[in-house]
Amino acid sequence: MEFSRRALMVNGVAALALAPGLARAATDTLALHKRLMCLDTHLDMPANLARPGWNVMEKHNVDLDFTQVDYPRMIEGGLDGGFFAIYTAQAPVTPEGMNAMRDAAFLRAAEIREMVAANPQHFELAFVAEDAARIAAKGKIFVFQSIENSGILGNDVTLLRSFHKLGVRLAGPIHFLNNQLGDSATDKKKWGGLSPLGKEFVKEANDLGVVLDASHSSDDVFDQMIELSRAPIICSHSSCRALNNHPRNLDDARIKKLAAVGGTIQMNSVYLITTPPHPERSKAEAAIGAKLESLGDMTPAQAAATVRQAAADTKALDKNYPVPRATLDDYMNHILHALDLVGPDHVGIGADWDGGGGVSGLNDITALPKITERLVKAGYTEAQLANFWGGNALRVLGNAHEARKKA
């Protein structure tokens, strides 16, 4: 009898779990996960590098300081590297606002490189797809860089060349708000897709071999980047609109379109379920967030105390204003939906760690082996998992490199 992969999953427990040797199978699955070269295409951990006293080499606790990624937890969770995001919140699209964004982005890029330089035995910068396996073979974390919100380029997209020299190999044009490059998925339509400058951005990225990232972009921008780009594009942290009708998610037709051109959707752990509005909680969350915005101006002791208080306030918030939270089952539903739709050569992981990602049962990267366990039980082979966990994203990076403008 033939069963679908989804039919094998019941409340996260596979029918295979009924077979003898379950303990040995779990051990074997963990060993498999550790053998795979695992990468995540959207790590927001660099935002923590500027936090006074925060050390990437120390193991932290998400319940105490909100962080989900550091070196010890990368080793424990079997994450070999990925794309470390240079994220910049959208400022007013004015000369002053764009200059401030540019400066903040260069500072973040410097912080990433300083992290690597300070820990050369544990981290190494990566620039081409082949670097990942080479660096991982040495037992180091490979560090690609990405731009989340290319509004930092101002009105001169050739500034992307400077970021490329620093190591940027993936760039999304837009974040939560429209900017000078095009329309956001979560803002009112302004340009009808890419602006004229945004189309120049696509060409500049192609010429450099920088992968174009459509996460956060409107459907029109996605379609136009697919049409204009001479290399496959990626969605570095997106999930499935068919399971949760949110504009940040991708509909089935576009997931298929992405796969048809050789791209990949990297599954986000945000926007998995619909959460009803809760104005009181939102107001309280904003107040907590405001206290955390000035951490960079504090001493390490002050910053630590502020974070501890914010963590305590968040726990009280969960008690006083409880809201549904997505679970690992919800996340796997999105992953399996995408896999059923386009197969394991066009799906991967970009869970938005330290940027709002994480679900109940998958709170930080130490829990990543659970994903492999679920996929093994769903029938996926080691070769397919190797593509899912990194091969697909690296293929797209290699394609972009090959399509670049050669001197």
Residue 265 has pLDDT above 90, yes or no: yes
Decide if pLDDT at 3 tops 90: no
Where residue 172 falls (left for φ over 0; alpha for ψ -120 to 50; beta otherwise) is beta
**Coil, strand, or helix at residue 122?**
coil
Look up tokens 């093994």; give the residue.
376
Model pLDDT for residues 172-199, shown as the tens digit of each residue: 999 999 999 999 999 999 999 999 999 9
pLDDT higher than threshold 80 for residue 119: yes
* pTM recorded for the entire structure: 0.92
Q: What is the pLDDT of residues 358-387, one digit of tens each?
A: 999 999 999 999 999 999 999 999 999 999
Q: How many helices (H) and strands (E) does the chain have?
A: 15, 11
Instruction: Please tell me the distance from the alpha carbon of residue 281 to that of residue 314, in angstroms, as a whole number.
Output: 10
What residues are paired with 147 via a beta bridge?
86, 171
Strands 347-349 and 264-267: parallel
DSSP codes of every residue in 180-235: TTB-BTTS--SSSSB-HHHHHHHHHHHHHTPEEB-TTB-HHHHHHHHHH-SS--EE
pLDDT level of residue 16 (50, 70, 90 thresholds): very low
